[in-house]
Amino acid sequence: MLTGFALVAIATAIAESALNQIDNDPGTSAATAQPRLERARRLRPDLSEAWLRTARLEEFTSPEQARAFQVHALNLEPNNWQNWEELGRLDFQLGNSQGALRDFRQAAQYSSGYEAHYTLANAAFLLGDSDLFWQQMQLALSMVPASDVTPTLEDILRIAGDQPRRLVEIIPRQRADVTASAIALLANRGQAQQVRGLWQALRCAAYEANACAWASQNLVTANLKAAQDAEASSPGESVSSLAALAVSTWDDALQRGFLTGPRAESGRISDPNFQFDWQHGGFGWQPASAQIRRIQLDGGDVAQVQWDGYEPEFENLLWQWLFVEPGKSYMLALDSKGEDLRNPDGIRAEISTPDGRILAVVPALLSPNWTIARNAFQSPPGYSLLRLTLAYRRPLGESLMQGNVLIRSVQISPKGAAH
């Protein structure tokens, strides 16, 4: 004969089985779920889970009935935050806004996680309580799962009407992933000036290195874009400060170990001898074609291009940003050689403004021995940011290049300095 405990265990197992059938079949219809929930409530009427699920099932079709189920669930388990949250949703749906806010407050009180605080913040915003909204969002951000960080930050800006300064104030500095995501998000929205405090506060452990690298790249890129936009509209002193900010942010990221790469200096090419890996964004060389690569040669690094005679007639190969002094004259030098070349003309270094105006060209002298070609250029007044590009341009009337091109260095220096 079964004891009372055994009967309870059997009833519990059957009730849980009914609930698991719903969990394991995402396509379960309301008509199918209803009898399963009924069975679970009948077998174990003292368990709140079945009553909570029934309320969720009914909340859009019969909200009054759903609320009755939910009150029963709450009476069975008053310390369960999910019971309070579901009651809050139902009260809000039934027009009891203050009751809903009270319910959501209770949910946040009993919960130690992100969701309840996020829900209370949204409810506070809908009911016009701005202080409660920001307070609860701050708590939510301190607990937000890594996968929800960026969507939550985007929601805050969308809900609160794009208030970046308030967002910065509530960022939990102890969460490197949240801080880094806020920096990247605001920088990409053209609000890089708002994140200086966050940038200085950013600290990353080894396992958070990717977050700090991501924030660094986005912030540098945003500062570079701001400088480019300013040069295109009204070149002047503000452009120089924006370009200088991009340089200082880049070098700060290198010094703090967020990025690896060459330093950026005024009037100097970053990584003139191809010692660092090429990357997308920031300073240093950035690849524009799969045709060019770094190789080891005679104990050093060089850039190599191998042409088969079927390459595009015009192709950018490698490029980088240059930080220069407006109105100053410089000398550009390209050290290169060719091996087994047919039609050796067309490889060149170009200096241009960000909007594409060519200021200087240095054609590579591709003899069998290393040869340096030079040309002078002047940075236009008001321009602190220029672009250096290694490119192939098929000369008019000639067939495509074939053979091996090697570039050992690209240098700029103030005109008149020793080369």
Q: What is the pLDDT of residues 158-217, one digit of tens each?
A: 988 878 899 999 999 999 999 999 999 999 888 888 898 999 999 999 899 999 999 999
The two most distant CA atoms of the chain are separated, in Å, by 105
Residue in 199, 204, 176, 200 with CA at minimum distance from that of residue 186: 199
Residue in 253, 295, 410 with CA at minimum distance from that of residue 347: 410
398 versus 143: which is more confidently predicted? Answer: 143
Q: How far apart are CA 414 and CA 419, in angstroms?
A: 10
Q: Region 103-122: what's the mean pLDDT?
A: 93
What average pLDDT does the structure give for the chain? 86
CA dihedral 35, 38, 44, 45 (to 10 degrees): 180
Give me 293's structure tokens. 């690569």
Which residues are bridge partners to 411 per DSSP?
Answer: 333
Question: Is pLDDT at 11 greater than 80 in this prediction?
Answer: no
42 versus 10: which is more confidently predicted? Answer: 42
User: Residue 269 burial by CB count (10 A; 0-12/13-18/19+): exposed, middle or buried?
Assistant: buried
CA dihedral 218, 219, 225, 229 (to 10 degrees): 140
pLDDT of residue 280: 77
pLDDT of residue 275: 93
Contact 62, 93 (CB under 8 A): no
Q: Region 276-286: what's the mean pLDDT?
A: 88
Number of helices followed by number of strands (H, E) in the chain: 14, 10
Q: What percent of the chain has pLDDT over 70?
A: 89
Q: Region 258-286: what's the mean pLDDT?
A: 90
pLDDT of residue 159: 87
8 versus 124: which is more confidently predicted? Answer: 124
3-state secondary structure of 305: strand
Domain positions in the chain: 163-260, 286-414
Report pTM: 0.77
Question: Is pLDDT at 2 greater than 60 in this prediction?
Answer: no
**Beta sheet of 358-363, edge-to-edge order:** 286-287, 314-323, 385-393, 347-352, 358-363
Q: How far apart are CA 140 and CA 248, in angstroms?
A: 33
Residue 238 binned pLDDT confidence (cut-offs 50, 70, 90): low
Q: Would you state the CATH architecture of domain 286-414?
A: Sandwich (2.60)
Give me 286's structure tokens. 């950035």
